[in-house]
Structure 1
Amino acid sequence: MDDKSFLEGYKSVLDSKTSEESLANFARWEPGHGQFKFRHPWKQYLMIGTLTRQCAFRIEALHGYMNSEIQVPQEFRRKIQELCTKMSSESGKALKALASAVKTMTYPSSSVKSHMADSKTAANDLKTTLKTALLENSDHLEIIPASTVALLLVEIITYTHKIAESVQELASLTDFKMVDPTVAPENPQLLNRGTVKPISDTDSPHVAVTVCGPSSPALMADHPRSNAAELR
């Protein structure tokens, strides 16, 4: 994702309060239909929106720090870089799964708990690392900018947890559909394509079978000519 689309993404969340409240107000007056029954918990949607904006505010601040020229001691950078990357990745995956759950009106997938647990573990490790660095480094001014970035990530993790709890509550209040991860999709994608054709330049009663996977080279095999067919 480039910087422009990233900025448009979270800034659209920052400016969404008025439109969300208007839509929720209109929705309250609609007759019950489908899954949107009488007394549908529209206020819970507004709660999720509020928490999402709070999270977006932290992302905006984080983006500002990331684009500034911060001079950080290499040793300190090395200690926190992996943890910060882990926190960003896991919280991002969790938010994406939560957004999908609200959009499709299904219970959040089990992967959300896993991502949240991993992000929380990384956040706790980061806090310990920061405390140790403050004790070991006499020049605190050198590590304050990077520490601020790390603490903003910790706050983003905190709000991601709050969003997850609110989405879970919404799912319970509205009887979101349960998705069984063991059930295969109704129309699975064809994984392999191929063709079967006679070998015209030989007298052998065989045909050439070419099977092409999505990311693998073609595979060749011999079969009796009577089985000649074309696979689609």
Structure 2
Amino acid sequence: MDSTHVTISISHLESQVEPKPPSKEEKKEPKALSFVHNIVSHTREKITSNKQDVRKLIHSAKVGIALVLVSLLYLLDPLYDQVGDNAMWAIMTVVVIFEFYAGATLGKGLNRGIGTILGGGLGCLAAYIAQEVGGTGNSIIIAISVFIFGAGATYTRLVPKIKKRHDYGLMIFILTFNLVAVSGLRAEKVLEIARERLSTIGMGFAVCVFISLVVFPTWASDELHDSTASKFQDLAESLQGCMEDYFRLANEKENEPSASSFSSCKSVLNSKAKDELLANFAKWEPWHGKFGLYYPWGKYLKLGELLRELAASLVSLKHCLQSPRQPSTTLRQSIKEQCEEVGCSLAWSLRELGDSIKKMRKCQQAELIAPKVKAMRVELSSAVSANSKLGQTENIDALAVASFVFLLMEVVEKVQVLAKEVEELGELAGFLTSAH
């Protein structure tokens, strides 16, 4: 006993008999399941891609229709006589604020309108005061007002919460205030120009909002809701693929982990920026369909963070599969039954959570998920027993298996936290009670 020994518990290791050779059906089953997962993933990607292409074509047509409508201010003499060259502001408004999502169009339009009104009003006031002072004081008043409002609005733009929702409005405010205040026109003419331009901007805004909200609207809230639900399904498939790859027999030809098992994990890990953007747009959207005002979109962002943590844990499991030193088939088979049962329970729980979000029904966390999590802990505890000594620290195979079991335990804990968050979302959003 000349070196340090570590004791790592793995159930039934010493008492485990050599597993019998699997039947042909057992050999084919993992391949068949993996093949089905690949087909399902590929089909889903194709459907999503085709749907996105159709939405892009519809959006392009909507922008074209909006541009035609505001161009009538130039093309029709009666309308041109009313607005004159100010019609260009309506066209500029359509080009600038018409976004892919209805919430983005509405939010950008409201920001532009409010920024224009405030900037124009304060700019007219500054120009009027400067005109009353006259002489050298005219330039001093304008310079001071430009500095105060420009610096103040710029500082406000740097506040994170305001920047997310009102950055565009503040930028328009700064631009409009400077254009109005610095102009050397008389106050009466400034008011007239501001009124005419504001009216044409309002026309462009009205056209954009009407077409965006009425003609085949694209709701950011729907996309965020559906993408969050689909992440649960994707991670469930990734977990199942990981378990199949890990317990695949060494004598099988395909012994490398399938890339498709972890492509969904990478997609989830890279979803933070898109989720935040969709949540911001969703907050601007009016009451529509299944989403009311003041819907808890912040909970979706919290779920996104937890799902990314879970995806990171699954990627860690991937590294166990890709390690150059893999444990023996016998050692892996000794924990196969317990780990596969846990994997199936985890996949079921993730699908149940995703399904509850998609259908907007309460997930019954206390009745269904919690007992499952408790049973998973028992299974993994039985896979790690205090009666098995694996020998010296040089036993890399035992350490590798223990690492895999430990990471699986981490996944169990993260699924439990996810279940609690989904339950809270159901309470805040008023999800319906499940029929069962």
User: Are 2:287 and 1:35 equivalent residues in the alignment?
Assistant: no
Structure 2 match to 1:136: 389
1:11-66 alpha-carbon deviations (Å, 9 max, x no partner)? 11111000000000111111223432222111111111110110000001102212
Residue correspondence of structure 1 range 199-218 to structure 2 within 5 A: none
1:46-195 → structure 2 map (5 Å cutoff): 46-72=301-327, 76-108=331-363, 113-114=367-368, 116-127=370-381, 129-130=383-384, 132=386, 136-140=389-393, 141-142=395-396, 143-181=398-436
Distance 1:70 1:92, change over 3 A: farther
**1:127: how far off?**
3.5
Aligned equivalents of 1:97 and 1:90: distance in 2?
10
TM-score normalised to the size of structure 1? 0.68
Take 2:424 and 2:355, find their aligned partners in 1: how far apart are those partners? 15
Corresponding position of 1:12: 267
Sequence identity, in percent? Answer: 27
Contact 2:303–2:421, Cα closer than 8 Å, also in 1: yes
- The amino acid that maps onto 2:335 is I
SS at match of 2:292: coil
SS of the aligned residue for 2:293 comes to coil
Alpha-carbon separation, structure 2, partners of 1:9 and 1:42? 23
Q: Distance in 1 between matches of 2:364 and 2:347?
A: 14
**Counterpart contact for 1:40–1:174, Cα < 8 Å:** yes
Aligned partners of 1:93 and 1:115 also within 8 Å: no
**In the TM superposition, what is the alpha-carbon distance from 1:80 to its structure 2 partner?**
2.2
Q: Which residue of 1 is the match for residue 175 of structure 2?
A: none
Give the helix-richer structure, 1 or 2.
2
Task: Tell me the residue number matched to 1:225.
Answer: none
| RMSD, aligned CA | 2.4
Contact 1:90 1:115 (8 Å CA) reproduced: no
The CA deviation string for residues 89-118 of structure 1, in whole angstroms up to 9 with x for no partner, is 1001110111111112112257x8545523
| Alpha-carbon distance change, 128 to 64 in structure 1, aligned in 2, over 3 angstroms | same
Contact 2:364 2:423 in 1 (8 A): no
Give the direction of change, closer, same or farther, for the CA distance of 1:118–1:105 in structure 2 (3 Å limit). closer
Cα drift, residue 130 of structure 1: 2.8
Partner of 2:196: none
Q: How far apart, in 1, do the equivalents of 2:381 and 2:343 lie? A: 15
Which amino acid in the other structure matches residue 271 of structure 2? S
Q: What is the CA–CA distance in structure 2 between the aligned matches of 1:62 and 1:73, rounded to whole Å?
A: 17
What is the CA distance between 1:83 and its match in structure 2?
A: 1.6
Q: Is the 8 A contact 1:24 1:42 kept in 2?
A: yes
Shift of 1:74: 6.1
Give 1 or 2: higher strand fraction: 1
Gaps of 5+ in 2: 1-36, 39-257
| Aligned-partner residue type, residue 392 of structure 2 | D
Aligned to 1:25: 280
Q: Distance in 2 between matches of 1:71 and 1:9?
A: 24
SS of 1:136's partner is: coil
Flag the 1:72–1:61 CA change in 2: closer, same or farther, 3 A: same
Given that residues 106 and 179 in structure 1 are in contact (C-alpha distance below 8 angstroms), is that contact kept between their aligned partners in structure 2? Answer: yes
Write out per-residue CA displacement over residues 55-89 of structure 1, whole angstroms, 9 at most, x where no aligned residue: 00000110221233544366653442222111111
Query: Which amino acid letter does the alignment assign opposite residue 391 of structure 2?
Result: S
Q: Which has the higher contact order (CA 8 A, sep 6+)?
A: 2
- The CA deviation string for residues 151-177 of structure 1, in whole angstroms up to 9 with x for no partner, is 111111111111111111101111112
Q: 1:74 & 1:130 partners in 2: Cα distance?
A: 17
